[in-house]
Amino acid sequence: MSGNSNNMEISPYRTIEVVPHQTEWKKDYANEEKKIKNVFKDELINIHHIGSTSIPGICAKPVIDIMVIVKDICKVDMLNNEMLTIGYFSKGEYGIKGRRFFVKGQHNRTHNVHVYQAGHYEILRQLNFRDYLIAHPNEAKKYENLKQELSEKFKFDIDKYNDGKDSFIKEIINKADQWAKNK
């Protein structure tokens, strides 16, 4: 999920492809979770599967998004080499202040890791977004349809793809926040 595309790259090597939901995405997340836990050790507070691949039944880009919550974001930079040994390249904050972002697969990306210090506003925002779409399959289907349309229209332009999702994502975030407060 990205409503912020300020620092996203446009690359002729990255094709935007939205594919049917894959049952192995859950297993793939679990495998990466183990590796990431071994890197973050005592700094880790929690880890979550987020993004469209975490929402059962909807089409998504085949990239597993993982959110890691840590005690001290400043200590994460010291783990860049360890993350590299399990295949993740550091991208620094990458457009979101207070985040550390890692990718696996430069041009053929398979995983994104978003690391936040406990209390960062993005944590609740992303978890509410995911949980709301899981609980509201009709909204998830609308999101899926939008992503499919945008992936066909902007097959090689990640910025325009993300910009096309922005207003829908903001609308869902508002609904998800209200929903989370009332449940």
Residue 121 and residue 109: Cα distance in Å, rounded? 26
Q: Is the pTM of this model over 0.85?
A: yes
pLDDT tens by residue, 77-135: 999 999 999 999 999 999 999 999 999 997 789 999 999 999 999 999 999 999 999 99
Q: Where are the domains of the chain?
A: 24-182
Task: List the CATH code of the domain at 24-182.
Answer: 3.30.460.10
Under DSSP, is residue 38 helix (H, G, I), strand (E, B) or coil?
helix
Backbone angles phi, psi at 32, to 5 degrees: -70, -35
Phi first, then psi, for residue 71 (nearest 5°) are: -75, -45
